[in-house]
Chain A
Amino acid sequence: ETGVTQTPRHLVMGMTNKKSLKCEQHLGHNAMYWYKQSAKKPLELMFVYSLEERVENNSVPSRFSPECPNSSHLFLHLHTLQPEDSALYLCASSQDLGFSYNEQFFGPGTRLTVL
């Protein structure tokens, strides 16, 4: 595997379910990100991790819980979601954080539908 991978690619869940999204990067990067992509809206940054430590949490509801066990893996744990949480969830990585000649590499995303 190369680049950034995400599983599952599609997920349908009820509002009372608990599920997790997984992201893995094979690029040796130090920073990882979760974004939410909704139709007609800019990508919304949800969480940022650097060297396994969370450095940004952009007022995301607590029903989304990130986990970064090591610099290659990032999870997004979901519980008691709402239908408006249905979206494409993108994982990205970059060599480092901030303004340091960075570019982000994206995974294919998980298409989440909350019933």
Chain B
Amino acid sequence: AQSVSQHNHHVILSEAASLELGCNYSYGGTVNLFWYVQYPGQHLQLLLKYFSGDPLVKGIKGFEAEFIKSKFSFNLRKPSVQWSDTAEYFCAVNGTNTGNQFYFGTGTSLTVIP
């Protein structure tokens, strides 16, 4: 079955620590890749997206993600997290083989300790 896997369910970091959240997908064909963030009490917001071109994508608030096609991965990174990054992070995929669907991972809850 087609799926999106986020391996880290809950991550706890101290401020200024580096962050990497894993995302793997299991689709063939061409894909669009997304990371969404959901801050406490707020709606899902787009953090960054990959459609084509440079596999290293820069997003808002200092986040970046790298698309590695051979590994079917799209990991999210930030060199130095802040308390305000505490949120739920979701990876999503939409592709030529997924029809009209966006497939989401189960999410990773990030807690940043001041």
> Are both chains from one complex?
yes
Interface residues of A (CB under 8 A from B): 4, 31, 40-43, 45, 48, 50, 55-56, 90, 92, 97-99, 101-109
Residue in chain B with minimal CB distance to A40? B106
Asked whether, in the complex, the Cβ of A42 is within 8 Å of the Cβ of B104, the reply is yes
B95 within 8 A of partner (CB): yes
Docked Cα-Cα span, A99 to B98, in Å, equals: 8
Nearest-Cβ distance from residue B41 to partner chain A, whole angstroms = 9
Contacts A42-B4, A55-B100 known; A103 to B106 CB distance under 8 Å? no
Nearest-Cβ distance from residue A95 to partner chain B, whole angstroms = 12
Contacts A42-B105, A42-B106 known; A107 to B99 CB distance under 8 Å? no
Query: Interface extent on B, as a size class?
Result: 20 to 34
Nearest-Cβ distance from residue A5 to partner chain B, whole angstroms = 10
Docked Cα-Cα span, A85 to B92, in Å, equals: 23
Interface residues of B (CB under 8 A from A): 4, 9, 30, 32, 34, 36, 42-46, 49, 51, 90, 92, 94-96, 98-107
Write out the residue numbers on chain A whose beta carbons fall within 8 Å of the beta carbon of B36.
106
For the residues of A in contact with B, the DSSP-based class is: loop
Asked whether, in the complex, the Cβ of B105 is within 8 Å of the Cβ of A104, the reply is no
The 7 A-B pairs of least Cβ separation, nearest first, read: A106-B44, A43-B104, A108-B43, A42-B104, A97-B100, A99-B96, A106-B43
